[in-house]
Amino acid sequence: MSKRFYLPPEWHAQDAVMLTWPHQDTDWAIRLVEVEPVFINIVHAISNKQKVVIVCHDAKLQQDVKAKLEQANINLQAIIWVIQASNDTWARDHGPITTCQGNNIEALNYTFNGWGNKYPSQYDNLINDGLFATCQVEHHKTTEWVLEGGAIDIDEQGHLLTTEACLLNQNRNPNLNQSQIEDKLGKELGARKILWLQSGALEGDDTDSHIDTLARFAPGQIIVYQGCQDETDSHFTELNAMKQQLEAFTTVDGLPFILFELPWPDAQFNKQGERLPATYANFLVINQAVLVPIYGVAQDKKALIVIQMAFPDHEIIPIDCRPIIEQFGSLHCLTMQLPKGFLANIPRG
């Protein structure tokens, strides 16, 4: 894998994490008072370990955010600002998917079509151009192929987890069949074995079953997955079928994966009575730490313990993401890691 560009696992050394800040012209408008503190908590946790790239809709928003971060005693030297219009905040899906080769990086700018043309994405799809210019990224490539970061997860051996419901959906790349998609994942991201989940879905999720809501890799051929222990819950059949498939998956060497099951959080609903996609699998790995979404329920504590077991050398940092799932996503969906080398051309200091 070292002789060609490949997508590193999330626990690979990082320069920064990218966030796209919510604003009045997004669906967050009525919840900004609840949501911005979550973003500030995320920035605080990350900025203690590495840089944070914050995309702001305009210069006025940048000044507002800067004032809020200063008030929260966050070191502004750790922040890199990108002024670029945005439709929404889900950086995991409109941000770049960055590959590595030694100390070199190549940022892949895939097309983002609003999760199968469900939502406006014309501004989000241009964010990476502004990001590359601001961060002076020399090596980047734009492609018409539709691919969101939340749809894939990869480990250090080149095993890539994804779902048929998303990557084979006709609302993404209708001109590509499964074999052609596997070929592209191998050539562009260095995937050696594609693990296709046929089951697994959360009510309220409108991404067509992104893998980062369901199952994630950890070092040492570990898969951490969202379980459902309540046989009366509407999710039990789907998630139990997913569990059985994960148990049947094997590595490139024919060995089973080590599985860590996350507890099923108490059901969360919005004011309209809609089920919200609360999942502990939507954690974010940064340098020396894992940020874990919690929801103010009894299962939070056990989820933190499970993820600590999967990442024994990392600090586990809980982030209350209850306000975030009101828009049907969570912590990992808001963020995109930028691996070591991404900021190589930005002057230090």
pLDDT in tens, 4-31: 999 999 999 999 999 999 999 999 999 9
Residue linked to tokens 């999942």? 279
Question: What integer pLDDT is reported at residue 1 of this predicted model?
Answer: 42
Q: How confident is the model at residue 2 (pLDDT cuts 50, 70, 90)?
A: low
- Per the CB < 8 A criterion, the answer to whether 22 and 38 are in contact is no
Question: What integer pLDDT is reported at residue 116 of this predicted model?
Answer: 97
Give 35 or 2, the one with higher predicted confidence.
Answer: 35
Question: What integer pLDDT is reported at residue 338 of this predicted model?
Answer: 98
348 has pLDDT over 90: no
Residue 1 lies inside a defined structural domain of this protein: no
Q: Taking the CA atoms of the chain, what radius of gyration do you get in angstroms?
A: 19
Residue 196 lies inside a defined structural domain of this protein: yes
How large is the greatest C-alpha to C-alpha distance in the chain, in angstroms?
56
Overall average pLDDT of the 268-284 stretch: 97
Q: Give the 3-state secondary structure of residue 264.
A: coil
- Per the CB < 8 A criterion, the answer to whether 293 and 42 are in contact is no
Overall average pLDDT of the 105-125 stretch: 97
Residue linked to tokens 């002024």? 83
Overall average pLDDT of the 50-58 stretch: 98
Overall average pLDDT of the 277-301 stretch: 98
Residue 62 lies inside a defined structural domain of this protein: yes
CATH number at residue 28: 3.75.10.10
Domain enclosing residue 289, as ranges:
14-339
User: Taking the mean position of all CA atoms in its chain, how far away is CA 65?
Assistant: 22
Q: How confident is the model at residue 253 (pLDDT cuts 50, 70, 90)?
A: very high
Residue 4 lies inside a defined structural domain of this protein: no
State whether the Cα torsion 99-12-94-149 is positive or negative.
positive
Q: List all residues 6 or more positions away from 199 whose beta carbon is below 8 Å from its beta carbon.
A: 238, 239, 241, 242, 245
The whole-angstrom separation of Cα 301 and Cα 308 is 11
The domain total for the chain is 1
Both tokens assigned to 73: 């005693």
Overall average pLDDT of the 296-302 stretch: 98
Residue 348 lies inside a defined structural domain of this protein: no
Shortest CA distance to 345 belongs to which of 46, 104, 83?
104
Both tokens assigned to 104: 């070199």
Residue 344 lies inside a defined structural domain of this protein: no
Residue 349 lies inside a defined structural domain of this protein: no
Report the chain's mean pLDDT, rounded to a whole number: 97
The whole-angstrom separation of Cα 8 and Cα 19 is 20
- Per the CB < 8 A criterion, the answer to whether 39 and 323 are in contact is no
3-state DSSP helix/strand/coil % of the chain, to nearest 5: 30, 25, 45
One-letter amino acid at 218 equals A
Shortest CA distance to 234 belongs to which of 264, 271, 272?
264
Share of the chain above pLDDT 90, in %: 97
Q: How confident is the model at residue 349 (pLDDT cuts 50, 70, 90)?
A: low
Residue 198 lies inside a defined structural domain of this protein: yes
Question: What integer pLDDT is reported at residue 103 of this predicted model?
Answer: 86
From the number of C-beta atoms within 10 Å of its C-beta (0-12, 13-18, 19+), residue 193 rates as middle
